[in-house]
């Protein structure tokens, strides 16, 4: 039976999303949020002995968060998402920039697992389009997946290179390096409301 089914099977054509609409972002938000919610509950119900299960759940959650960042923030042309950009260094450089999490995702994911951050907060973790030169300075300082200050998240950058007059939000405003991670999350209220609409 399966042999004949295999012979007769024709791969269905996927309907491509030709235009990013609010409804598309709403669907993405809804499906990823619900999947992460289920996996978080599963994670909370694991025991210390279920180490492999915990690792795989964490990897899966991390992947879904990064998927949201890539699709709904990096590639978003419909909504002016608050993100940051190192303007001057990118203009001087002949190389492409790096889509870099100012607040390391490895830490953000663990804070989600421990109930300190919410799903909405990790969906809107601060991200900067950073020059490769500055990204290398972070690596040289040992800050690839760590930060010296989880509350004042810009310290990870200011410890390594000049931020004043270099990094701006996408509306052209210079960043305030004294703002906290909680201040940053407040900026995303409208964007999250946009994603939560049913369309």
Question: Each residue of 132-171: pLDDT tens digit?
Answer: 899 999 999 999 999 999 999 999 999 999 999 899 987 8
Which residue from 93, 94, 74 is spatially nearest to 82, judged by alpha carbons?
74
Do β-strands 127-130 and 84-86 pair in parallel, antiparallel, or remain unpaired? parallel
Distances from the Cα of 112 to the Cαs of 118, 162, 195, in angstroms? Answer: 6, 30, 20
Residue 74: C-alpha distances to residues 45, 69, 80, 99, 192 (Å): 33, 6, 11, 8, 15
> Can you tell me the distance from the alpha carbon of 87 to that of 94, in angstroms, rounded to the nearest whole number?
13
> What pLDDT does residue 97 have?
80
Task: Indicate the helix (H) or strand (E) that contains 129.
Answer: strand 127-130
Domain ranges of the chain: 21-196
Residue 167 CA to residue 94 CA, distance in Å, equals 18
pTM of the complete model: 0.86
pLDDT per position as a tens digit, 70-102? 988 888 877 767 689 898 766 665 567 888 999
């Amino acid at each position: 039976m399966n042999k004949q089914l295999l012979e007769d099977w024709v791969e269905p054509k996927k309907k491509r999303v030709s235009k990013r609409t609010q409804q598309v972002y709403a669907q993405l938000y809804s499906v990823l949020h619900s999947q992460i919610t289920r996996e978080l509950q599963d994670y909370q119900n694991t025991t210390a002995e279920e180490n492999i299960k915990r690792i795989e759940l964490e990897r899966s959650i991390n992947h879904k968060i990064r998927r949201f960042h890539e699709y709904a923030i990096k590639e978003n042309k419909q909504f002016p998402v608050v993100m940051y950009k190192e303007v001057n260094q990118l203009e001087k450089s002949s190389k492409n920039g790096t889509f870099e999490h100012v607040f390391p995702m490895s830490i953000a994911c663990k804070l989600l697992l421990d109930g300190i951050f919410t799903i909405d907060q990790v969906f809107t973790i601060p991200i900067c389009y950073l020059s490769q030169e500055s990204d290398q300075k972070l690596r040289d300082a040992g800050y690839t997946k760590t930060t010296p200050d989880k509350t004042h998240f810009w310290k990870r950058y200011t410890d390594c290179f000049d931020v004043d007059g270099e990094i701006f939000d996408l509306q052209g405003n210079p960043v305030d390096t004294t703002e906290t991670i909680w201040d940053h999350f407040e900026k995303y209220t409208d964007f999250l409301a946009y994603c939560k609409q049913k369309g």
